[in-house]
């Protein structure tokens, strides 16, 4: 991988000691904002008092998934779905190889991880959509229950995702968590990396999500589909009376 040479390549071998850039900035901003907003939605799920925060975190999850779907079509090499999403058969083959002690390295996502990612994105979208539909009274109690079941399924997949990331980091001898933060992986050939981090797009995504929080927080009453502050207060009052 990172061959060390005493000759002219020295400078570039030092560069590769930093690792090879595989995750662009938008993917990393998306990932950590998704994890943060999912955690916020989860922590605030049961409380009437925190319902506005729950709803805004849920909408942020939906907006992040929408961005990721778009970026999966036009983004950089390892962000594009066409380059990493494989069927269940490829995922099984990969898992079998891993169990046999062979661990094929992947510059981007491995086929099993890719399947989990598709599941996480789908569950995130469905959880947010069912929460929105229930909140806007588009169905009965069953929608609330469906929302909870979907959220629980997503939590299950997130826990599996965390376990898989840790196990793969050990097997591939590459700190994948650090890679999702810095964008760089160690055990990757330089030609498999990406050239540009696309920082501007990541900054736009960050500002858009912060803006979503700000506008919905300050102007909750006027935005379509959002609970108004008075509605929330009314609900809390109603709840207190129960």
Q: Does 109 bind ligand HEM (CB under 6 A)?
A: yes
Site for ligand HEM in 176-195 (CB under 6 A): 176-177, 180
In the complex, minimum distance from the CB of residue 203 to ligand HEM, in angstroms, rounded to a whole number = 17
Contacting ligand HEM within 123-182 (CB under 6 A):
124, 127-128, 131-132, 134-135, 144, 147-148, 151, 158, 161-162, 165, 176-177, 180
Question: By CB under 6 A, how many residues form the interface with ligand HEM?
Answer: 41
Question: CA 231 to CA 9: how far, in whole Å?
Answer: 66
Q: Can you tell me the distance from the alpha carbon of 197 to that of 193, in angstroms, rounded to the nearest whole number?
A: 10
State the binding string over 31-50 for ligand HEM (x if CB under 6 A, else -).
x--xx--xx-xx--xx----
For the bound state, the minimum distance from the C-beta of residue 135 to ligand HEM, rounded and expressed in Å, comes to 4
What 3-state DSSP class applies to 139?
Answer: coil
Distances, alpha carbon 1 to alpha carbons 52, 75, 189, in Å: 49, 26, 6
Q: How far is the CB of 191 from ligand HEM (least distance, A)?
A: 18
Binding test (CB under 6 A) with ligand HEM, winner from 16, 20, 25, 30: 30
Closest-CA residue to 41 (of 70, 20, 64, 21): 64
Q: How far is CA 17 from CA 2, 20, 53, 93, 201, in A?
A: 7, 8, 42, 31, 27
**Which residue of 68, 112, 115, 201 would you call a contact of ligand HEM, by CB under 6 A?**
68
Nearest to 108, CA basis, from 1, 186, 22, 195: 22
Nearer to ligand HEM among residue 59 and residue 94 (C-beta) = 59
DSSP string covering 96-119 = HHHHTT-----SS--HHHHHHHHH
Q: Does 117 help bind ligand HEM (rule: CB under 6 A)?
A: yes
Detail the DSSP E strand segments found in the chain. 20-21, 184-185
Q: Which residues bind ligand HEM (CB under 6 A)?
A: 27, 30-31, 34-35, 38-39, 41-42, 45-46, 54-55, 58-59, 61, 68, 79, 109, 113, 117, 120-121, 124, 127-128, 131-132, 134-135, 144, 147-148, 151, 158, 161-162, 165, 176-177, 180
């Amino acid at each position: 991988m990172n061959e060390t040479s005493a000759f002219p390549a020295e400078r570039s071998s030092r560069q590769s000691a930093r690792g090879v850039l595989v995750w662009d900035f938008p993917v990393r901003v998306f990932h950590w904002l998704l994890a943060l907003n999912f955690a916020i939605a989860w922590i605030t799920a049961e409380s009437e008092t925190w319902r506005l925060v729950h709803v805004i975190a849920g909408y942020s999850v939906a907006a992040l998934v929408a961005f990721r779907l778009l970026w999966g079509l036009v983004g950089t090499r390892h962000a594009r779905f066409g380059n990493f999403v494989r069927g269940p058969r490829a995922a099984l083959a990969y898992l079998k190889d891993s169990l046999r002690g062979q661990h094929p390295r992947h510059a981007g996502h491995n086929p099993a991880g890719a399947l989990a990612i598709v599941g996480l994105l789908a569950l995130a979208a469905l959880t947010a959509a069912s929460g929105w539909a229930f909140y806007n009274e588009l169905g009965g109690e069953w929608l609330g229950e469906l929302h909870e079941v979907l959220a629980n399924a997503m939590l299950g997949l997130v826990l599996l995702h965390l376990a898989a990331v840790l196990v793969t980091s050990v097997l591939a001898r590459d700190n994948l968590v650090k890679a999702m933060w810095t964008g760089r992986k160690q055990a990757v050939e330089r030609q498999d990396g990406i050239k540009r981090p696309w920082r501007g797009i990541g900054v736009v995504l960050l500002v858009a999500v912060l803006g979503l929080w700000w506008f919905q927080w300050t102007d909750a009453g006027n935005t379509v589909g959002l609970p108004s502050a008075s509605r929330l207060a009314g609900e809390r009052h109603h709840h207190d009376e129960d």
